[in-house]
């Protein structure tokens, strides 16, 4: 479960801000050593993306999937694990849009510990698809504008 702060619509002169969330490291996230088992970070990334879509883009996954018939599968992941996270810690998550393509969005996600130190850094590429034929579709202009509000640089 994440608790988030969302950047709202901004005038063009206001620089974009990242999406931020707090992530509690739960017992089920950890291995017997009491540190996050690395595949759980990918689940955490997915939860952050889902929360960002709902809170930041104003497009919930139920609406995206069941109402619109779209999907937003992960096409590529690149993850660096820099330090362990422990059971009971609250991690600070930051999501920014790196690039928006014709049907893809490239995200950067970081998780930092309570001390502010980097724990995990990931680059994630998501692709907007029509779920029936499982084919990529162009990102609609209104959604593209909402995505670009979270773009913080090249």
Reported as a single tens digit per residue, the pLDDT across 16-40 is 789 999 999 999 999 999 999 999 9
Cβ neighbours around 30 below 10 Å, total: 18
Given a cut of 70, whether residue 11 has pLDDT beyond it is: no
User: Residue 15 — very low, low, confident or very high, per pLDDT cuts 50/70/90?
Assistant: low
- Give CA–CA dist 34/66, Å, rounded: 37
Strand, coil or helix: 85: coil
User: What sign does the CA torsion over 67, 42, 153, 9 have?
Assistant: positive
Domain spanning 19-148, CATH architecture: Roll (3.10)
User: Residue 152 — very low, low, confident or very high, per pLDDT cuts 50/70/90?
Assistant: confident
Question: What would the pLDDT profile of 39-66 be if each residue is shown by its tens digit?
Answer: 999 999 999 999 999 999 999 999 999 9
The structural domains of the chain, with segments of one domain joined by +, span: 19-148
Given a cut of 90, whether residue 71 has pLDDT beyond it is: yes
- Give CA–CA dist 34/10, Å, rounded: 41
**Which among 152, 55, 61, 144 has a CA at the least distance from the CA of 107?**
152
Alpha helices (H) along 1-154: 38-55, 61-62, 141-148
**Which among 63, 78, 75, 79 has a CA at the least distance from the CA of 127?**
75
Global confidence as pTM: 0.88
């Amino acid at each position: 479960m994440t608790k988030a702060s969302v950047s709202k619509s901004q005038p063009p002169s206001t620089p974009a801000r990242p999406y931020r969330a707090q992530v509690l490291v739960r017992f089920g996230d950890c291995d017997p050593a009491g540190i996050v088992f690395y595949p759980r970070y990918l689940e955490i990334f997915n939860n952050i993306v889902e929360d960002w879509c709902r809170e930041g883009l104003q497009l919930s996954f139920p609406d995206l999937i069941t109402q619109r018939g779209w999907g937003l599968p992960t096409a590529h992941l690149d993850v660096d694990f820099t330090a362990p996270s422990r059971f009971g810690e609250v991690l600070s998550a930051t999501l920014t849009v790196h690039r928006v393509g014709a049907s893809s969005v490239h995200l950067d996600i970081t998780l930092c510990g309570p001390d502010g130190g980097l724990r995990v850094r990931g680059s994630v590429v998501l692709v907007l698809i029509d779920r029936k034929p499982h084919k990529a579709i162009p990102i609609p202009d209104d959604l593209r504008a909402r995505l670009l509000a979270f773009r913080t640089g090249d």
